[in-house]
Amino acid sequence: MDLPPAFLERYLPLVDDPAAFQDSLQEKPPKSFRVNTLKAAPQEVQERFSEYGIALQAVPWYPDAFVSSEPAVGQTLDHALGLIYLQDLASMLPPLALLPELEQLRDAPEPEEQEPPVIPGVLDACAAPGSKAGQLAALLQGRSLVVANDVSWGRTKALRFNLEKMGATNAVVMSRDLRSFPACQFPLILLDAPCSAEGTACRNPLALERWKPRLIQRLARIQQRLLLAAFDHLLPGGVLVYSTCTFAPEENEGVAEFLLQQRSASLEPLRFPGLRSSPGLTAWEGEDFSPDLSKAVRVWPHQNRTEGFFLAKIRKARQGNPEPAGRGQLPPLLWDTGGRDVAAVRSYLGTRFQVATSAAGWYASPKGVVSRGPPLLPPLPLQAPGVHAATVQEGRVKPSTMGLQLLGGHARKNRVNLSAEQAREYIAGEDIGLSPPPAGATDGYVLLTVRGLPLGCGLLQAGVVRNVLPKAMRQAIRWC
Ligand SMILES: C[S@@+](CC[C@H](N)C(=O)[O-])C[C@H]1O[C@@H](n2cnc3c(N)ncnc32)[C@H](O)[C@@H]1O
């Protein structure tokens, strides 16, 4: 790839090793993933990978993350079932920057009612397709709440799919422009802003194809507005992480500096022991930034063989100038917490699978979509409250694949164990003929398992398991 001369002119003077930086942009970093600890433990995944013959390398600063020797690591059972999530290592940093605060949130009692309402969770303000929202949900160990928001209705489809595949019942999805977000405040916010994505050029050379300094200026103005909007939804004393996957100081330190000038905010230090990084810049093209900006972190691609990233951890002063906390009336919640459809699904799970479920955290839409979500829903216009577990139509319950992955693990009836070969065919979208018919299962929906893991839902009819796997989950897998 030919790097634009103006691009090199801007960045070579900023890096510690210009030759290594240039080389790193020409070579893809190795594939990496994070174990989705909502569904699996790192050691269990490591053991299965060793059976597959795929070598994994541990990551010193994150025990849930691994680098894979096999580029096609997505073609594993673990990926198909949402036990792992493919993600660049640097993109795992923003949620980790919030780890101490997430740990406090996880164990915090519910706050008292306040005006504007305080949502006791973390807002992922620009969340699609959900890499970091899923990681936040896992770092919260399925407790508390992640409000995953994205302005793009189209991209929230992928966001919902990914969060459901992760089994994130503590995540809810909404689609609002952050600049007209409803009036409420959060103790924690992640703003992973839209950016010029220069840091992804090592994986995707197209990222630099339309590179123009003018685009950077335009994005910086958008980011300034987004950061102000996000900050105004932060509780006094709360913490916000601002991140981008770009190198441009205008989109990084320049945006954080803009906030420091407009609001009562300060930067917190960030530490990732074992990660190579550089401090944020305190000056750029003749403009001096606050010395606080050296607490921000820049990760250049050559330092750890990852994409490039920038992050700043910002704290809101406990007392400051009163700021507007949002716009727009809240519509009434559409989700019914105790209705007929919820009762039908819980009763169906009990009789068909002998799975008992607790009463809290069930929600039904007027169209019969029944979801398993957090115990208390935030008063926000939600698109999806947790994981879609089943659909009820004319009183008939149809469990979903994600629902049975989530709830079916303890099923004592209507469980069908598949061999590795059969699971591979099922995940590829085929029906599976069973001969002899499975003992302990009658015609109707069954929980399919493989290697003791819940694979999801199948429809058993006269000795054949009909394939009901959602199309988006079908894939060819090599390792099972
Ligand atoms: C860098 S991506 C986020 C990636 C995501 N955090 C992840 O880790 O998967 C930026 C996102 O910001 C969203 N976005 C852009 N403008 C927005 C706005 N005004 N309000 C909310 N979301 C916005 C875009 O649709 C895009 O999905």
Instruction: Quote the CA–CA distance of 374 and 379 in Å, as a whole number.
Output: 13
Q: For ligand 1, atom 10, name the residue with the nearest CA.
A: 194
Q: Are 369 and 307 part of one and the same domain?
A: no
The last residue of one of the domains, among 377, 406, 435, is: 406
User: At 117, is the pLDDT very low, low, confident or very high (cuts 50, 70, 90)?
Assistant: confident
**pLDDT attached to residue 49:** 97
Q: Are 245 and 382 part of one and the same domain?
A: no
The last residue of one of the domains, among 352, 379, 406, is: 406
The tens digit of pLDDT for each residue in 420-434 reads 999 999 999 999 999
Strand partners, 241: 190, 313
Q: Are 370 and 422 part of one and the same domain?
A: no
Residue 327 has pLDDT above 70, yes or no: no
Is ligand 1 within 6 A of the CB of residue 87? Answer: no
Q: Are 166 and 253 part of one and the same domain?
A: yes
Q: Is residue 98 part of a domain?
A: yes
Q: Are 134 and 274 part of one and the same domain?
A: yes
- Cα dihedral 290, 291, 292, 296 in deg (nearest 10): 100
Residue 22 has pLDDT above 70, yes or no: yes
Structural tokens at position 260: 């420091």
Is ligand 1 within 6 A of the CB of residue 92? Answer: no
Instruction: Quote the CA–CA distance of 431 and 466 in Å, as a whole number.
Output: 5
Q: Which of 151, 166, 189, 244 to mutate to test the pocket of ligand 1 (most atoms within 8 A of CB)?
A: 151
The tens digit of pLDDT for each residue in 284-298 reads 999 999 999 999 999
Q: Is residue 1 part of a domain?
A: no
HSE, side-chain direction, 13 A CA sphere, residue 36: 26
Q: Is residue 463 part of a domain?
A: yes
Is ligand 1 within 6 A of the CB of residue 192? Answer: yes
Strand partners, 460: 444, 465
The tens digit of pLDDT for each residue in 54-109 reads 999 999 999 999 999 999 999 999 999 999 999 999 999 999 999 999 999 998 87
Q: Is residue 286 part of a domain?
A: yes
| CB 401 within 8 Å of CB 473 | yes
| CB 200 within 8 Å of CB 207 | yes
What separation in angstroms does the CA of 305 have from each of 68, 313, 325?
13, 23, 40
Q: Are 394 and 419 part of one and the same domain?
A: no
The last residue of one of the domains, among 376, 406, 436, is: 406
Q: Are 287 and 421 part of one and the same domain?
A: no
Q: Are 177 and 303 part of one and the same domain?
A: yes
E strand intervals along 175-216: 186-192
Q: Is residue 99 part of a domain?
A: yes
E strand intervals along 77-233: 84-86, 122-124, 146-149, 171-174, 186-192
294 is in which domain, residue-wise?
A: 94-200+217-316
Q: Are 242 and 307 part of one and the same domain?
A: yes
Q: Are 279 and 387 part of one and the same domain?
A: no
Instruction: Quote the CA–CA distance of 213 and 387 in Å, as a whole number.
Output: 42
**pLDDT attached to residue 15:** 96
Rounded distance from Cα 132 to ligand 1 centre (Å): 11
Q: Is residue 428 part of a domain?
A: yes
| CB 139 within 8 Å of CB 99 | yes
CATH (domain of 296): 3.40.50.150
Q: Are 273 and 223 part of one and the same domain?
A: yes
Q: Are 296 and 431 part of one and the same domain?
A: no
**pLDDT attached to residue 409:** 81
For the chain, give the mean pLDDT: 94
CATH (domain of 443): 3.10.450.720
Separate counts of helices (H) and strands (E) for the chain = 14, 25
Q: Supply the residues annotated as catalytic.
A: 245
Q: Is residue 435 part of a domain?
A: yes
Residue 335 has pLDDT above 90, yes or no: no
Name which of 407, 399, 415, 427 is nearest 452 in CA terms.
415
Per 3-state DSSP, what percentage of the chain is helix, strand, and coil (rounded to 5)? 35, 25, 45
Structural tokens at position 77: 């059972």
The tens digit of pLDDT for each residue in 259-315 reads 999 999 999 999 999 999 999 999 999 999 999 999 999 999 999 999 999 999 999
| CB 254 within 8 Å of CB 220 | yes
Contacts of 157 (CB under 8 A, 6+ apart): none
Considering its fold, how many domains does the chain have in total? 3
